[in-house]
């Protein structure tokens, strides 16, 4: 039996890591993509905050509107979930999106963009652009819309902005990115320097997900697939949060350096001891702190006047 001292030594981050490893241990070479997606959704199902969850079709893209009490009707956060463009959904990220809605006091539209390998790049980007257009067609001004996303969803935050900019479309007010996956070529030094302390994401896995998304002939340095390689000029203000234990840490730090060099107003938060998208785990105290910071950033740029105390 474990002693009381052993139990005390187990941190909330350790428990989160075990939750993730329990999922991955159940997968083999024979596990179908459909089963992986189902397992991921079930592992993170539920909603821990009091928001209204309403299914919605955003011009044919299935999604969910999460509405906290007293949220303004003329403001919205468009949320893109993570999962390496292979797994993840509105269901798996409902709690994270809901906690962002609750903390910011703003409506969130979370979408189920198409996933690979059935739908490769740029299907996810096209769906995300469709959802952005839907919000504008509902009467929301771009200045009253912000983007948020984690991991692959953080990639979409940037790629939708870049695609909109290059097409001459108006850009949203701001973007909040959690552990964004910005470099599908996986060139960052952190893939080696953080390999021993990252419990899940190793470079071989990241490259396999990139091939799954791009196809065998896809270009991992296409700026709309890997925003790290894009001209980042003229993007709206960005907040980037990343854990220091992540192999994909440099996807954030390099993005920050390049964006700032291009004149983008970007704030980078590197969270000591944190894992990939640690914000998904409400049991981690730093998760709550990070979401409070993210919510304050979004409220500021959406000009949501009333202040809401963090949980």
Q: Which residues contact 80 (CB under 8 A, 6 or more apart)?
A: 110, 111, 113, 128, 147, 148, 149, 150, 152, 153, 154, 156, 157, 160
Rounded Cα–Cα distance for residues 38 and 43 (Å) = 9
Q: What is the pLDDT of residue 311?
A: 44
Catalytic residue among 92, 104, 151, 293: 151
Burial label, 6 (beta-carbon count in 10 A; 0-12, 13-18, 19+): exposed
Q: Domain containing 224 — which CATH number?
A: 3.40.50.1820
Residues 147/80, Cβ–Cβ less than 8 Å? yes
Residues whose CB falls within 8 Å of the CB of residue 57, separated by 6 or more in sequence, listed in order: 63
From residue 310, alpha-carbon distances to 110, 175, 285 in Å are: 21, 20, 12
Q: What angle do CA 156, 277, 302 make, to 5 degrees?
A: 55
Q: In which domain, by residue range, is 74 found?
A: 33-302
Alpha carbons 295 and 5: distance in angstroms, whole number? 36
Domain count for the chain, please give it.
Answer: 1
**Does residue 28 belong to any structural domain of this protein?**
no
Q: Is residue 19 part of a domain?
A: no
Active site residue 151: yes
Q: Residue 10 domain-assigned? A: no
**Mean pLDDT by 10-residue block, N- to C-terminus, for the chain (311 residues)?**
58 95 94 97 93 97 97 97 98 98 98 98 98 98 98 98 97 98 97 93 95 96 98 98 98 98 98 97 97 98 69 44
Q: Is residue 128 part of a domain?
A: yes
Q: Is residue 25 part of a domain?
A: no
Q: Is residue 74 part of a domain?
A: yes
DSSP state letters, 34-69: HHHHHHHHHHT----S--EEEEEEETTEEEEEEE-T
Q: Is residue 101 part of a domain?
A: yes
pLDDT, residue 8, reads 63
Q: Give domain status of residue 27, yes or no.
A: no
């Amino acid at each position: 039996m474990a002693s009381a001292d052993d139990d005390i030594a187990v941190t909330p981050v350790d428990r989160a890591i075990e939750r993730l490893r329990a999922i991955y241990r159940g997968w083999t070479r024979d596990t179908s993509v459909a089963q992986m997606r189902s397992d991921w959704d079930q592992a993170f199902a539920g909603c821990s905050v009091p928001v209204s969850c309403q299914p919605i079709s955003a011009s044919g893209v299935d999604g969910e509107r999460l509405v906290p009490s007293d949220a303004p009707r003329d403001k919205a956060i468009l949320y893109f979930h993570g999962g390496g463009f292979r797994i993840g959904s509105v269901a798996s990220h409902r709690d994270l999106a809901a906690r962002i809605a609750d903390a910011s006091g703003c409506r969130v539209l979370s979408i189920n963009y198409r996933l690979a390998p059935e739908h490769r790049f740029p299907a996810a980007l096209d769906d995300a652009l469709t959802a952005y257009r839907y919000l504008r067609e509902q009467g929301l001004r771009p200045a009253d819309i912000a983007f948020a996303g984690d991991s692959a969803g953080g990639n979409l935050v940037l790629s939708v902005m870049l695609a909109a900019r290059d097409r001459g479309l108006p850009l949203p007010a701001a973007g909040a990115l959690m552990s964004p996956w910005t470099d599908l070529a996986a060139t960052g030094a952190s893939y080696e320097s953080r390999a021993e302390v990252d419990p899940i994401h190793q470079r071989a896995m990241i490259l396999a997900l990139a091939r799954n998304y791009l196809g065998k002939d896809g270009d991992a340095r296409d700026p709309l697939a890997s925003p790290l390689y894009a001209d980042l000029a003229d993007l709206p203000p960005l907040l980037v949060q990343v854990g220091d234990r992540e192999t994909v840490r440099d996807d954030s730090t390099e993005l920050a350096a390049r964006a700032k060099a291009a004149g983008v107003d970007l704030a980078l938060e590197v969270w000591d001891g944190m894992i990939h998208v640690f914000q998904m785990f409400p049991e981690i105290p730093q998760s709550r702190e990070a979401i409070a910071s993210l919510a304050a950033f979004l409220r500021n740029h959406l000009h949501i006047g009333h202040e809401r105390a963090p949980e």
